Amino acid sequence: MGIVVLGTVALDSVKTPFGKREKMLGGSAAHFSMSARLFTKVNLVAVVGKDFPCEYIDFLERKGIILTSLIRSQGSTFKWEGQYEGDLNTAQTLNTELGVLSDFKPVISEEERRIKYIFLANVDPDIQRHLLEKMRSPKLIGLDSMNFWIHHKRNSLLRLMKMVDIFVANDQEARSLSGETNLVKAAKWLCSRGPKIVLIKKGEHGVLLLSEKFIFSLPAYPTEKVIDPTGAGDTFAGGFMGYLARAGKANTMNLRKAIAYGTVAASFNVEDFGMNRTAHLSMRDLNKRLAEFKKHILF
């Protein structure tokens, strides 16, 4: 079972206490794909500009990611510039250039429209809905967003939430959208807006999943090697949705395993800048760390 992921493919400039990198390959859909590709076929739907380096296209293709619907438009690629300090848990955005993202209309092939697993990674909720309406027979739809859309397109986002199965947010976003400070209450509020499953990512503190039937939480994989957390949330989502697409069924046990795989995938992502680490991952690496992680939380 393949996945369609819609989101951004970006040029990221990042500064952390461990160094600085300019115009790395980044973006929500790119990070998601780099992780989900380990589990299943991934069709990436996004837009880049004329300035987007060909070597990044080659790189994504070499990783097996299907780029049929990666559009190259006139204008410049979406750029994000940010920095991390202290515990590296929160990004500070220094600059954002929307570029070609500002009038992006996703176009996908007839074949892609029939894919059943869909992830709407962070991008304007109107663009997310545009894609979703094209899909012929979705089986599982995941949705991510960010503070910018929560504040500027709250109604679009709330309308979209009614159409999806899984809503993914970080703790700040969950609090901000729901108005609840307690995360379990926030998750319940979000669940009441449509999605059957709500997943709250807490960065270095792990993750909380709430569904009508059960609640599940895991700490992050404890690591002292945190070089650049950019894309950790999307890498998590890629592992999570990737596992579910491969398993073919989002039952309780598979959801738990999917979260564990997402957690482990994200733990690799933070170990180096951009996709330097996740680009070289194998299922063997993931499984090895998963077994270690299982021991960490055993009692």
Residues of this chain that bind a copy of itself (CB under 8 A): 86-88, 175, 181-185, 188, 202, 204-206, 208, 214-220, 222-224, 226, 253, 256-257, 259-260, 294-299
Q: Output the smallest distance, CB 219 to a copy of itself, in A.
A: 4
Q: Output the smallest distance, CB 133 to a copy of itself, in A.
A: 34
Task: Pick the closer one to a copy of itself by CB: 109 or 287.
Answer: 287
Q: How far apart are CA 96 and CA 40, in angstroms?
A: 31
Task: Pick the closer one to a copy of itself by CB: 24 or 209.
Answer: 209
SS3 260: helix
Planar angle of CA 270, 276, 278, nearest 5 degrees? 65
Return the closest-CA partner of residue 233 out of 195, 190, 189, 200: 200
Helices (H) and strands (E) in the chain, counts: 11, 13
Q: Output the smallest distance, CB 280 to a copy of itself, in A.
A: 23
Task: Pick the closer one to a copy of itself by CB: 96 or 254.
Answer: 254
Q: How far apart are CA 128 and CA 6, in angstroms?
A: 7
Q: Is 95 exposed, middle or buried (0-12, 13-18, 19+ CB in 10 A)?
A: exposed
Q: Output the smallest distance, CB 63 to a copy of itself, in A.
A: 27
Task: Pick the closer one to a copy of itself by CB: 55 or 86.
Answer: 86
Task: Pick the closer one to a copy of itself by CB: 159 or 205.
Answer: 205
Q: Output the smallest distance, CB 259 to a copy of itself, in A.
A: 7
Task: Pick the closer one to a copy of itself by CB: 27 or 203.
Answer: 203
Q: Output the smallest distance, CB 177 to a copy of itself, in A.
A: 15
Q: How far apart are CA 214 and CA 249, in angstroms?
A: 16
Q: Output the smallest distance, CB 157 to a copy of itself, in A.
A: 22
CA neighbours within 13 Å on the CB side: how many for 153? 17
Residue 47: CB partners within 8 Å, gap ≥ 6? Answer: 9, 70, 71, 72, 73, 78, 100, 101, 104, 106
Task: Pick the closer one to a copy of itself by CB: 68 or 251.
Answer: 251
Tokens of residue 49, six digits: 């500009």
Contact between 164 and 195 (Cβ < 8 Å)? yes
Task: Pick the closer one to a copy of itself by CB: 94 or 297.
Answer: 297
Tokens of residue 235, six digits: 């890498």
Q: How far apart are CA 268 and CA 279, in angstroms?
A: 10
Q: Output the smallest distance, CB 222 to a copy of itself, in A.
A: 5
